[in-house]
Structure 1
């Protein structure tokens, strides 16, 4: 059996770059699969993947995170994105029992607004104790228990404020409860929930207490009860644990010929701030024959500082003075993720949970394939 050809590092790097031209995009298809290049072994190898796959964290807060997954295929990156949006369970208001609503907000609109309010609470209670509410055999909702339902209550009435100053026109000072906010929603624990959600930091509560629910005037009131259940974003967007979960490919900017003087400053203006920097040509660079810097010692030159900040607008390709001096592209195996949590999960937990979910899906698929073969 003939030995396989090993392509050069430069060739492998070229294959990873999606080339961005003035009017077109080329080299867009993945080619790292067996049989595409004669004489090469491009079969998938776990050892190769383990040695090349990397995770880089850019910034991290409980609400937002940004990181790069390097060395994976677009199918895997997109699977993680879709799982983040639609398959990680959260707790949200599912049923609203309206006893009285004399506000100007219709019942169905009010219920919809309440359902979209994100809540948080004890992680142990929400994830380990609370379970799915199952339907009956006829498809109707199953019974309510302390381990599958969280009860909330909203009882607010607007009245005149007798302490308001004469001539006051601000409704929030003129009336009591003129505005109803998410913080006015009360958690009503039942059964074992009393112990699991007893501490102030563990109580089921809105992530953002200042979300405006409705406005009232004297004589108007809202009296309702709500039931929260576990669900996933595939059922309804209110169950999605993320406000945004997106990725983009890492931009690449290659300066092939020197860009000097006023052209360097113009070149920097073609990109977002921080992408291109201005430096001075050193004596060492000016002394190298064929570098393009001969005789330009001390002049300004354009250098790439941080390509990750680039939005790939292709503005630099529209100016004739930069023709043949720059190449734009994107790395097909470098995915820059951006995740914004709605508050029930910390942003760094979401990626790990998405990987767990993907692993379970793969295990189920493996069992199905084995059963098919049998």
Structure 2
């Protein structure tokens, strides 16, 4: 129990710590929303260490493709070679690494000369090679009149632990599920209570001609604790977070976010098996 300075009580749901194996057996995944590359799901019944491990694997250990080696033959533009190479390395590659073969043999060329009397923008669309390999419309550099650029690009498969450009996701975050409990709150107090939370968290019902507040959507709350400022809600509203219930959000760069999650879980299982075998060998 955590006490506020106004003697307002924040209730936090608690569970006993579980062993790693027991925690994995209790793990449950509920998919909430999937739109394009965005995925929201609930991870329930695991220790925070496992939730954080899964997040870190998603970010840094699921392989993806990026430009690695860049040979610059000519660059008379204003952007230095090292900065240009870094920008090219960060262009999202529109390929699943498990579906690409002989990547070492693929060569891409960027050769542009500004023949006009105005500034020319150079985009990822100007890279020649396999069609639709790089994400289009990514600005790389600008060339003044008579300036030119000529370089070759080679890609490889790696993981975000080696370099952030290989991370298959943009944001990958989680937060604990909010826990909100309220007493009997009616009429003006009910309307005021609803206004102290994000829209959709507290609902209002008509009960025998009176307006009654109820908890409608706790997952929409971010536990701002704004309600703690008002004495009239002392001992009527309890807020906190549910331990071992995590709201995950993933937005992938290109690959299907469900596939990324599946591969991350497979990597987690392999790591757990390796750890178990190493411990057993040490005991022997």
What is the TM-score normalised by the length of structure 1? 0.70
Partners of 1:281 and 1:350 in 2: CA distance: 47
What SS is found at the alignment partner of 2:279?
A: helix
Work out which of the residue numbers 71, 89, 98 in structure 1 matches 2:63.
89
Q: Which moved more, 1:86-95 or 1:271-280?
A: 271-280
CA spacing shift, 1:248–1:237, aligned 2, 3 Å = same
What's the secondary structure of 2:213's corresponding residue?
Answer: strand
Alpha-carbon distance change, 44 to 152 in structure 1, aligned in 2, over 3 angstroms = closer
Q: Structure 2: how far apart are the matches of 1:104 and 1:45?
A: 56
Aligned-partner SS, 1:186 = coil
**Range with bigger deviation, 73-82 or 360-369:** 360-369
Residue 82 of structure 1 and its aligned partner are, at CA, apart by 0.4
Which of 240, 244, 256 is equivalent to 2:167?
Answer: 240
Distance 2:158 2:24 in 1: 34
Partner Cα separation in structure 2 for residue 44 and residue 365 of structure 1 = 11
Distance (whole Å) between structure 2 residues aligned to residue 368 and residue 77 of structure 1: 23
Partners of 1:117 and 1:104 in 2: how far apart? 20
Asked if residue 127 in structure 1 is aligned to residue 38 in structure 2, the reply is no
Q: 1:280 aligns with which of 197, 201, 206?
A: 206
Residue equivalent to 1:313: 224
Deviation at 1:315, TM superposition (A): 0.1
CA distance in 1, matches of 2:215, 2:11: 23
Counterpart in the other structure of 2:267:
357
Alpha-carbon distance, 1:362 to partner = 1.5
Q: State the alpha-carbon separation in 2 of the partners of residues 370 and 25 from structure 1.
A: 46
Distance 1:223 1:105 in 2: 13
Q: Please point out which of 189, 202, 206 is paired with 2:134.
A: 206
1:329 aligns with 2:257: no
Write the distance in 1 (CA, Å) between the matches of 2:75 and 2:177: 52
Q: CA deviation at 1:300?
A: 1.5
1:106 matches 2:83: no
Paired residue for 2:116, among 136, 152, 160?
160
Residue 33 of structure 2 aligns to a residue whose secondary structure is: strand
Structure 2 counterpart SS, 1:104 = coil
Q: Name the SS of the counterpart of 1:79 in structure 2.
A: helix
**1:188-242 residue CA offsets vs partner (Å, 9 max, x unmatched):** 5xxxxxxxxxxxxxx45123x1111112222111111111111100000000011
- What displacement does 1:21 show? 5.3
CA distance in 2, matches of 1:25, 1:153: 63
Is 1:32 matched up with 2:16?
A: yes
Instruction: Give the SS at the match of 2:129.
Output: strand
- Structure 1 unaligned spans of 5+: 1-18, 34-41, 131-145, 162-170, 189-202, 283-297
**For 1:362, what is the secondary structure of its paired residue?**
helix
Structure-2 separation of matches of 1:87 and 1:348: 15
Helix, strand or coil for the counterpart of 1:205? coil
What residue in structure 2 maps to residue 288 of structure 1? none
Distance 1:221 1:25, change over 3 A: farther
How far apart are the structure 2 equivalents of 1:80 and 1:303? 34
CA distance in 2, matches of 1:318, 1:335: 27
Distance 2:211 2:139 in 1: 54
**Quick check: which one's strand share is greater?**
2
Give the match for residue 186 of structure 2. 260
Aligned to 2:128: 186
* Cα pair 1:59 1:66 within 8 Å, conserved: yes
Residue 329 of structure 1 and its aligned partner are, at CA, apart by 1.1
Q: 1:231, 1:67 → 2: CA distance?
A: 26
Cα gap change, 1:220 to 1:45, in 2 (>3 Å): closer
**Partners of 1:248 and 1:218 in 2: how far apart?**
51
Contact 1:21 1:317 in 2 (8 A): no
